[in-house]
Structure 1
Amino acid sequence: MKKLLVITMVALTAACSSNKSMIIDYGAADAKSVQKIDPSIGYQALEQAPVCCSNLSQLNYQKISAPGKVDFTLTTQDPAFQFRTGKSFVKAVELPEVNGPIKVAVSSPIVTSVFAPTLLVLDKNFDPIDVYGEETINYENGSLLSIDRFFGNVELPAVFRDGRQAKYLVVLTTDQAMQQTTKLDPPDPKAVELGREADVVKMYSNQPIAHTATGVFRLAFDYAPGAASSANDMVEQQSSADALISEPAAASTASAVAVSSAKTKTSPIQPETEAMFNQLIENAVKASDFDKALSFVEEAERAGSTSARDALVEAMKKHH
């Protein structure tokens, strides 16, 4: 028996040494290259990106149809949304209809930078129910079988105490997260022996890891497929089985990430972005496309413009 165990361990070690991919799982195929992009590129792109929409219902939601892992790459081409915690590029998913809770494991690999995700939970009306940020999704040191990453386990109850059910998830990051960095713990000596790039970097560099505006992350879903019970049925069960219902976060926490209203003060717009909007407004007025011109005005103001309406008036005087 001992001889068999030794042979098995030798074979496993040999396989690991010759095939690093058996040990390292960065998630998306482009994870390593994406997380090596200079973070300043993402910051600048986010700063200049127009706000995509005024309501979370206007995002495109990717439907989750089966349990398992789903890898995402968040880029500067994704929509940017203005939250009370700052503007962020976003990915959005629609949850499946199930009978019980949905477990979600959130993972974001660390290479030379990391995307620090926040998970916003919405009901069927796209209103916030709960939010999971750095208190839940945080740094996890790598081991022989895993890389350094941001990681967190979330369990969405079948129904929250107020009777609402989770229907959508929005993944974002916050201004505060992007201003922070992460200092890595020393690597696992055994992992270093295998020559893994990330661990070699850790050995020879004490540089803090920047948190990015773009990046890669994975959502792993675990649930029992099946049609969901109605919220009313679940609330009735709740009175006799409180232990089955997860305690939601304080309402103030969820609302802190909730959507900013049109009257909420936005970050100052970049001069070149404001000039771009003003030119688009003038072009639309010149073409007598007033609906489009007004649309550009509203979009510019959501992005922080203070001159868009003046640009509209001036364009009307000039061309009509």
Structure 2
Amino acid sequence: MRKTIQGLALLGVLSFTTVFVPAQAANFSQLNAQAITLEDNKRTLTFDVNTTSANLPLGSSHYHAFNIPSGQYQVRLRSNIYKSVFAPTAYVLDASGNILATYGQDKVTHQPSGVISPDRLQLKFDVDSTTGAAVVVVATSQNQLNQTTEIEHPARQLAKARGNQPPDIPNLFIPHSQSGEVQLKLSKIETEVDNSAPVLVTSTTAAREASENKQAIVGASSVQPSAADATTSSATTVAATASASAVSTSAQVKQTALLPASEAMYNQAIKDAVNQQDHELALQLMLEASEHGSKTARATYLEALEQR
């Protein structure tokens, strides 16, 4: 992370301005009362002008608060990087609203883009209800708002995805914002996955989680679309027409290539999703297309991001 904004003109974000929201001094007992209970230990947290804000110890910020389930959990906060990014800070509170721990910029890591995900900031830490931890407050900090995150230029990523020589252009420095989305996930520590074991995936969601855990994927070419993949007609059409029969051997699963018409429909659906800023769907389509043998889905996704 660096404070310079050199190269931002290439993404058209020089006009970006951080807006500091007026906020009341934090009453942490009230934050506890406002905390939500997660139904499935996952949630997309949206931070915008409609999100409650407060003067927190590390600066004024929009925030979300959630209750910690009984037991020991790993908390993962992930914020995808586009033209700006929300850099997460987390406060762990006890039942009386006292701060037990703070996880700020020094704990946030930059995760480079992969086959199925863009560049992102990630914050991971453990919580334990038996030690008094009751609530986690997710926000950002003034220090983080003054920073930028350096990423590889999308044109270089695109060239690599196509197997070409990357152009000699500088990296970009993405500003941190008070607005954005953070993907929250809680994983019970006693049931953390064995990353050395391969995973037989049965949905794009399972495949994505296996990839994030750096696990080998078995039977990826036989993955069927998850319910989330059918949220648009484009995704439904692509899934219905894709050719993805798997030929298994005792050692591996061999993929068949997509038909040209199916590949074209996948690529168009990816472009449409990016244009509509539905990045979750775009990533799902890219993963699904790659599972079915597409050689161009990732390049199409990166190119669509670059053009926005």
Q: TM-score, normalised by structure 2?
A: 0.49
User: Greater strand share, 1 or 2?
Assistant: 2
User: Greater helix share, 1 or 2?
Assistant: 1
The structure with higher relative contact order (CA 8 Å, sep 6+) is: 1
Q: TM-score, normalised by structure 1?
A: 0.48
